[in-house]
Amino acid sequence: MVKRLRQPKKQKAGRSRGKITVRHRGGGHKRLYRVVDFNYNQKAKILAIEYDPNRSANIALVQDKSGKKSYVLASTDMKVGEEIKPAVKLKDLSTGANIYNVAGMIRSAGATAVLQAIEAGYAQIKLPSGEIRLVKENELANIGQVSNSEHNTLKLRKAGQNRWRGIRPTVRGSAMAAGDHPHGGGEGRSPIGLKHPKTPWGKPALGKKTRQKSKPSNKFIIKPRKKKQKT
């Protein structure tokens, strides 16, 4: 049986068992899921660079010598007609190399990490967030930078573009009544009247750390990510 490169994708609209678990989701254009092989480790020819509605990066359609076609994550230096560079193990790379697609990380548009050192069976990788993390030296990685680096400069021409993406309108809490949101109430354009911003359910918002302190992967983090500066 030939493996299909595109498969139907059921829209869940931010719901679990019929209940809303993620607000402001719904509708959106119908999509097909592109089956991307993140561990592709063969020599192949690049047939096309394609847009993928399911991720921020572009994907490349490649074909190996046997004629089998696959989708892989495209990098900035990929060109149609050329041969792709197969993934390599971290221990086989030199320090200072720019890499992406490592251990399920560094896959978003324009992302790249730096291999800083290899010691005691682990590689030290500096992630785009500034976090330095340990990864096993036998993990596969691609050399370069993820494609579509201009993704963050995209400006929507109209509100309908967000609706195509399945994103519904968001109402400011300060525009609501006092009974509907902690920021609501008051006369005219009133401040929120709180020391810190809150969610509609009264939980801290904007800056509250949500990472679990007991998360198993915490032991692999040498240096935490940098805190975003307010602009």
| Distance from C-alpha of 20 to C-alpha of 26, rounded to nearest angstrom | 10
| β partners of residue 63 | 45, 69
Q: How does strand 6-8 pair with strand 88-89? A: unpaired
pLDDT recorded at residue 209: 85
| Distance from C-alpha of 25 to C-alpha of 21, rounded to nearest angstrom | 10
Level-2 CATH architecture, domain 8-73: Beta Barrel (2.40)
pLDDT recorded at residue 1: 35
| Distance from C-alpha of 75 to C-alpha of 148, rounded to nearest angstrom | 8
pLDDT tens-place values along the chain, 231 residues long? 346 899 988 888 889 999 999 999 998 899 999 999 998 888 899 999 999 999 999 999 999 988 899 999 999 999 999 999 889 999 999 999 999 999 999 999 999 999 999 998 999 999 999 999 999 999 999 999 999 999 999 899 999 999 999 999 999 999 999 999 999 999 989 999 999 999 999 999 988 888 888 999 899 999 988 766 555
| Beta carbons of 15 and 2 less than 8 angstroms apart | no
Instruction: With CA atoms as reference, report the closest residue to 90 among 80, 81, 101, 76.
Output: 101
Written out in words, the top-level CATH class of the domain with range 88-147 is mainly beta
What superfamily in CATH does domain 172-219 come from? Ribosomal protein L2, domain 3 (4.10.950.10)
* Greatest pairwise CA separation for the chain in angstroms: 71
| Distance from C-alpha of 136 to C-alpha of 144, rounded to nearest angstrom | 19
Fold agreement (88-147, 172-219):
no
Q: What residue ranges do the domains of the chain occupy?
A: 8-73, 88-147, 172-219
pLDDT recorded at residue 210: 85
pLDDT recorded at residue 86: 85
- Distance (Å) of CA 29 to CA 14, 34, 114, 155, 156: 15, 15, 37, 19, 16
Instruction: With CA atoms as reference, report the closest residue to 49 among 32, 39, 30, 34.
Output: 34
| 3-state SS, residue 36 | strand
pLDDT recorded at residue 228: 65
pLDDT recorded at residue 3: 64
| 3-state SS, residue 17 | coil
pLDDT recorded at residue 2: 46
